[in-house]
Amino acid sequence: MTEISASFSTGHTAYHHDIREGKLPKNVDPKLSRYNVTLVDRLQGRTVEQYTNERLQPVIDEYNRKQKRNDRKIKIPYSEWHRKYSKSKSRKTSAACPLVYEAVYQLGDHETLGKVWYDSDQKSMAMHSFFKREYQIFLEHLQKYYPHLEVVWAVIHMDEPNGTPHLHIAYQPIGEDYKQGLPVQVSLGRALSLDGIERVESRKEAEENGGYQLKRFYRKMEDFAKRRVLSKNVETILGNSVELKERIEGREHEEPQIYAYRIKKMEKELEYVSLWEELLAKRDLEQIQEQVTMSNCIVEDNDMTIVEQTTAINQNTAIIKNQEAAIENNSKTLNDQDEKIRSFWERLDHALKEIIPRWLNAYRELQKRLDHWFNEEQIIYRELIKKTDQPVIKARSAVKTINNFMTGERDTNSLELSNAIDMVEEATEEIEEIVGDYEP
């Protein structure tokens, strides 16, 4: 019986990375890139902005034809109009919604399906066909039941030896039936609503309905993926029966830098174990050599006194004890280093899973209060802005530090990262306390 997992998680939009253009990441084996499969590629070398402008220019032209006043006509490409007018309501930020979102679907993990593919000297075409077929079925399911999430590109990666073959899907959410402005716009919330996943307006509604829109969409797609795990196709390719392995809730697709760090940590641990065994073997060899030397000295020099022999033995014993103490100290140092690494990683994991989401929720709640008081009472609006300005700036700076560490854009040591996490948590508490005093 083999346990097989299935995951559908958020990815980072990176077209050139997905189709393997330009400099390849360190975790990619260029010799295996020929096995990658491009299922969809609507960009064909264009940028996302260029593709979107061509996709929605007919909508702009139709809109302009219906306008009687020239000043109401849209005279800029859609991507510029979107950046200027399409703001995110759910995230309460001044930034426009992305034009394209990316997700990653993975069937199995490295210890199961990954090794079957990567550890074979001659890549099995049956295994290649299996991944291509399963990921094609998954993509067709998404296109059939969520037609307003238009797939822009979809690529199967089979060239990362330390990972598992997986599918990158980049989709553009198309919202329709707008009463004001353009009738068709890029909007994740409207697209999901049109495809049957209704939007919720409060945290309470989200809890009652199983989460916000995007989370419910991911869960539906993951439920379909789990059904694929139990299909006969997986049993056939492995040659034995399978059962579903539940993955860790909230786990996202690991970026190459994080995965490389985890692998490097495991290799370091193995190196420490090897060093320990080498020290023990060396100690045993030295003890044997010293005993032989002592025996030879006794045989060759019959005039050596018992006192001299005892002194030599004591000296050798002291050397052995010093070596044992040194080995024990090295072991303690290795354990301390391992504990620091584990503690650091747990703290970072806690920040990503709890502190950052808590900060985002507090910030959304603050924006809701600001929207209300901006319309109702300008004095209270300005007072709320003044009180929350510093903690918001402080939290944004700290989140940027954490993001720099995760993306590898700038070297960040553990002390800086720890301070950043404390800063986000402290700013979040300040904002929550302030927002609580300004109930609409």
**For the chain, domain boundaries:** 2-253, 254-440
Q: How far apart are CA 361 and CA 368, in angstroms?
A: 11
Inform me whether the pLDDT recorded for 90 exceeds 60. Answer: no
16-20, 326-330, 372-376 — which is least confidently predicted? 372-376
Q: How far apart are CA 120 and CA 137, in angstroms?
A: 25
Calculate mean pLDDT across residues 78-105: 77
63-67, 135-139, 351-355, 383-387 — which is least confidently predicted? 351-355
pLDDT of amino acid 107: 86
Confidence of residue 249 (pLDDT cuts 50, 70, 90): very low
pLDDT of amino acid 155: 96
In DSSP terms, 174 is beta-bridged to 186
- What is the H or E stretch that residue 11 is in? none
Answer whether 410's CB lies under 8 Å from 336's CB: no
pLDDT of amino acid 361: 84
Q: pLDDT tens-digit profile of 319-371?
A: 888 888 888 888 787 777 777 777 767 777 777 778 788 778 877 877 877 78
291 vs 27, more confident? 27
Calculate mean pLDDT across residues 102-118: 84
Q: What percent of the chain has pLDDT over 90?
A: 23
Q: Decide: residue 391, CB within 10 A, 0-12 exposed, 13-18 middle, 19+ buried.
A: buried
Calculate mean pLDDT across residues 13-30: 88
Q: pLDDT tens-digit profile of 206-238?
A: 787 778 888 989 989 988 888 887 766 776 766
Region class of 211: left (phi > 0), else alpha (psi between -120 and 50), else beta: left
Confidence of residue 82 (pLDDT cuts 50, 70, 90): very high
pLDDT of amino acid 250: 42
Inform me whether the pLDDT recorded for 197 exceeds 70. Answer: yes
pLDDT of amino acid 310: 75
Q: How far apart are CA 148 and CA 174, in angstroms?
A: 5
Calculate mean pLDDT across residues 266-286: 72
In DSSP terms, 4 is beta-bridged to 244
Q: Which of 104, 103, 86 is nearest to 187 (CA)?
A: 86
Q: Considering the chain, what is the average pLDDT of its residues? A: 80
